[in-house]
Chains A and B, each alone.
Chain A
Amino acid sequence: MVENLKKQIEILEADIAKLEENIRIKNAEKSTASAQIQARIFLENIFAPYMDGLCDIWGLSPEEGLRVLIKENASLDKIAKDNPKALAEFLSQPEIKVIAAVARPLGSMSDEWIEQKMSVLLEVMVKIRPSMANAIIETPEGMAWFYESLIGLRNMLFGVLKLSHVDLMGKPQINIETT
């Protein structure tokens, strides 16, 4: 009786281990696919237009603008801090509110998670905007700048931007924390 039970438990343990492995592989595949989709959405709708807007005014190509920002160690959140009014106006836009609300889980992701996803972002960027990817990869301190900028964007869009009050006009008061 006891031996029979032991055998059954061993079989169950083996099945559970197999299931765990399958789930892990499935999750890894899913996470890879989802990360690539997220990266594409982020790059196409957030990062590239932002860089295009910056470089429109500066009269530079995005690649040149990236190299300038990398050289001056001016991450995206650092630039935003210099113009809080424009940031508040930007966050009050309905489209941005919707996107920020839907993508709010991304705001709780850790710095390590962003560091891991940075490689995925660069992989996708090489495919859809190779010149920008080359500027980040080839310029010294380019990867560090990109990492800082991503964390800054997370803080700016989701995490540490606390909307303490939304007035009747729909414009939130914002507190920018630099942690």
Chain B
Amino acid sequence: MSTRKKKTEMEKVPEPTYKGSSFSIDPSLMGRFRRVGKSPLEDELESEDSMLAHDLKSMRVDEIVLKRRARIAKLQKEIEKLEKDSDKTDSTDSNSPRISVAMAQQIANLPPEERNKVIETYAAFRNIDQSKGRGDSLLPLLVGYSKTNPGSTQSDMVTYAKAMADQFKIGIDVMKSVMPTPEKASSSTEALKLMKDLIIEGVRNPVLSAIEKNQPQPSAFEQILMNPDMFSRAKEIGMFGGSEPRTGSTNVDLEIEKLRGERELSIKKLDLEWRKSLLENDAKDKRTDAVLTALAPLSAVFAGPVNQRMRQFGQQQASAYTPENIPQSGNTILIRCSCGYQGPMTFPGQPPNIVKCPSCSLDLVVGGAPNGGEPQETD
């Protein structure tokens, strides 16, 4: 019996399903930073931290710029090297045939017989005119002749090529006689070199110099970083902040706090002085108002008694002080009315029998009883 166990089915792992995602953003990044409980000193420290971070960023940017410039210099060197190599190749491989791709394609498109004829004729002429360099210019003519005259013999092609070469030579001689003679006869390689120099001097170098000019000049900070001596000196004088605790910065912070405190106190002092002056004005008004508010009802309540006391006081004073020159009229009577009025009344002659009270206009009888509303004669 086989004890082979039945193969249990693998438990299927559920496929992960996308149920959306959520992410949280730091409230400080959303402008909801709470400033509760922050002291001005913390603000100062934070601002200094941000300045240091800015400096660090600028240092990193400078570093990147330096790297890029080093890379540009390296690439320029490589270009120069490649150019030198290409010059050497030009000078050494002058004997190799220079067949363009288009020309090679045209040759390849020819029938095999024609192709062989063209190649052989070209090789023969190149061997003959190697020093003069005219073999290269004959190849297109040979291809054209082979296309227009298919089936022609190779001797005909050689004759044609020879005739064309002679015409080419005559044409060059005529051109030489017509054109001003150059100081040196320039070969195609020299012309190409001249063109290359022209392109290098006229186009590439100005472009490179313009790029160099546009590159940021090394700042004082970069110069310090690039120069080890200056860098160590700057580090010694604590330009980049020392490893010691922030004693200098703390002193500056304390000074700033002190100045800020003084300023706040002076503002508070001014505010208090202003409030004090306002309160003083209010107090003055209140004091006067208090006197008035107290005097007004008091005068109403005590008007009668005070009035009476003052009159009595005056009478007492009058008995103690007698003026020297009292005009002798002899016609003054004292009025005592039931309305409360009491006072003298002077007449030029004899007083009438009935007088009117100055206060209530009640008719009073001169010489009458005081309580009955009648006047009492004093003189």
Contact = CB atoms under 8 A, between A and B. Distances in A.
Q: Do A and B bind each other?
A: yes
Q: How large is the interface on B (under 10, 10 to 19, 20 to 34, 35 or more residues)?
A: 35 or more
Given A54-B315, A79-B317, A95-B305, A60 B296 contact: no
Interface of A: 16, 23, 27, 30-31, 34, 37-38, 41, 44-46, 49-61, 64, 68-69, 71-72, 74, 79-80, 82-83, 86-87, 89-90, 93, 95-96, 98-99, 102-103, 105-106
A80 B291 contact: no
17 contacts: A27-B285, A52-B343, A53-B311, A53-B313, A56-B314, A56-B318, A56-B334, A60-B326, A60-B327, A60-B329, A72-B323, A72-B325, A74-B321, A86-B317, A99-B302, A102-B295, A103-B291
Given A54-B318, A79-B320, A31 B288 contact: yes
A53 B313 CA distance: 7
A115 B247 CA distance: 68
Nearest to A35: B288
Contacts, number: 156
Interface of B: 274, 278, 281, 284-285, 287-289, 291-292, 294-296, 298-299, 302-303, 305-327, 329, 332, 334, 342-346, 378-379
* Dominant SS among interface residues on chain A: helix
Contacts of B324: 72
Nearest to A41: B299
Given A38-B295, A45-B303, A45-B306, A56 B321 contact: no
B348 to A, nearest CB: 12
A90 B311 CA distance: 11
Given A54-B317, A60-B332, A69 B323 contact: yes
A49 B298 contact: no
B311 to A, nearest CB: 4
B181 to A, nearest CB: 78
Contacts of A54: 314-315, 317-318
* Dominant SS among interface residues on chain B: helix
B47 to A, nearest CB: 14
A93 B309 contact: yes
A53 to B, nearest CB: 2
A31 B284 CA distance: 10
Given A16-B274, A71-B325, A95-B305, A37 B318 contact: no
B289 A34 contact: yes
B298 A102 contact: yes
A176 B292 CA distance: 28
A80 B314 CA distance: 9
A57 B310 CA distance: 14
Nearest to A24: B281
Contacts of B342: 52
Contact of B295 (A31, A41, A49, A96): A41
Nearest to B330: A59
Contacts of B287: 105
B311 A49 contact: yes
Q: Which 7 A-B pairs rank lowest in CB-CB distance, beginning with the nearest?
A: A53-B314, A83-B320, A57-B318, A49-B310, A86-B316, A53-B311, A53-B315
A41 B309 CA distance: 15
Given A52-B314, A58-B326, A86 B320 contact: yes
B295 A83 contact: no
B347 to A, nearest CB: 11
A53 B317 contact: yes
B300 to A, nearest CB: 10
A85 to B, nearest CB: 9
Contact of A23 (B281, B299, B317, B327): B281
B126 to A, nearest CB: 85
B309 A95 contact: yes
A45 B316 contact: no
Nearest to B295: A41
Contacts of A68: 323, 325-327
Nearest to B323: A68
Contact of B332 (A61, A74, A96): A61
A109 to B, nearest CB: 11
B125 to A, nearest CB: 88
B344 A56 contact: yes
A64 B313 CA distance: 19
